[in-house]
Amino acid sequence: MKFCPQCGKPLQEAHIDGRERKLCPDPECSYVFWNNPIPVTAAVVEWDGGVVLVRSKGWPRRFFGIVAGFLEAGETPEEGILREVYEELGLRGRIVDFLGHYAFAEKNQTITAFHVRAEGVMVPGDEIAEVKVLPPEKVKPWDAGTGPAVKEFLRRRMGGKAVDRCVPPGEQLVLAVYVQDVEKSCRFFTDFGFLVSRRDGPFVELRWEDSLLFLVERPDAEAPKAPVGNIRVMVPDVEAVYQKARELGYPIVTPLGDRYYGLKDFVVAGPDGIHLRFASHLGRK
Ligand SMILES: [Zn+2]
């Protein structure tokens, strides 16, 4: 900006509020060009299993970015980005996550970025020259502008990947119980419907649907003086399991009842201080 937008006089350099700014020299006017950044809303859009990259009309051929745009008056960044996703891609999206705020000094913008998931048939808008949908691992984030938001999206995704992809969910956390008599313990659990999926000397692998429980017979295992804990098992009909526990004659530690935490449950004592707590959701069968 060279001329005062209020009176038309040439602006001059001045040191105001700790920065070099442009000031109108007319004392009657004294307009200051503050050069405040413009808010931009942006999104890493996931669609059809990939990340959507767009090239706007007029951009160089190899230049792709994420969906982004200026806010309309009265819009929140959340409203703005869902509108942009619709305008640029013809897709209805929903915000999954907030990724971050980023200062983009070169363009004097402040970018608010989200992770958006979109579904449906993509119909790119008039402003869009080209769309690419890349598998997330093929996306190479750039340094400036919306690049750091892309980096943040990938960082979170990789974090999640390490947890959910290395092994099936049911194998991620498995309790191994040291028992005095593996046959006796095994009988207790199988009486209640656990299946033996592996047996190897002192070791037994038990399975309840996708969850695992290990029993390990150890000569130094002692009967604990007090119960050590219980394993909670959700069942569709806890009353039927309760009847079975009574018929089998296992000691009931906590009789069947409705609980404040939304479950109907009971606790039956097992060997080695490990109890089983069977539960159903209240109001559901
Ligand atoms: Zn002026």
32 Cα to the center of ligand 1, angstroms: 8
C-alpha 28 to ligand 1 mean position (Å) = 8
- Percent of the chain past pLDDT 90, that is, above it, reads 81
Distance 140 CA to ligand 1 centre (A): 46
How many angstroms does the Cα of residue 72 sit away from the middle of ligand 1? 28
Q: What's the rounded mean pLDDT across residues 88-103?
A: 94
Measured in Å, residue 14 CA sits from the centre of ligand 1 at 14
The Å distance, Cα 256 to ligand 1 centre, comes to 81
Q: Does the pLDDT of residue 163 top 50, yes or no? A: no
**Average pLDDT rounded to a whole number, residues 26-41:** 95
What spacing in Å lies between the alpha carbon of 20 and ligand 1's midpoint? Answer: 17
Q: Hey, which CATH number is domain 38-165, 3.90.79.10, 3.40.50.2300, 3.40.630.40, 3.40.50.300?
A: 3.90.79.10
Domain range 170-281, its CATH number among 3.10.180.10, 1.10.357.10, 3.90.1150.10, 2.60.120.330:
3.10.180.10
Residue type present at position 256:
L
Average pLDDT over every residue of 74-78? 97
CATH number of 1-35: 2.20.70
Q: Check residue 166 and give its pLDDT.
A: 57
pLDDT for res 162 = 42
Give the pTM: 0.55
pLDDT in tens, 223-281: 888 899 999 999 999 999 999 999 999 999 999 999 999 999 999 999 999 999 999 99
Q: Read off the tokens for 51.
A: 């990340």
Average pLDDT of 179-186? Answer: 94
Given this model, what pLDDT does residue 156 score? 85
Structure tokens at 195: 């299946």
The pLDDT value recorded for residue 80 is 98
Ligand 1: centre distance to CA 25 (Å): 7
Ligand 1 centroid to residue 18 C-alpha, Å: 21
Give the mean pLDDT of the chain: 92
Ligand 1 centroid to Cα of residue 44, in Å, is: 42
Output the CA 58–ligand 1 centroid distance in Å. Answer: 35
User: How many whole angstroms separate alpha carbon 255 and alpha carbon 141?
Assistant: 57
Each residue of 106-131: pLDDT tens digit?
A: 999 999 999 999 989 999 999 999 99
Higher-confidence residue of 285 and 245: namely: 245
Q: Give me ligand 1 centre to Cα 104, in Å.
A: 29
Domain boundaries, the chain: 1-35, 38-165, 170-281
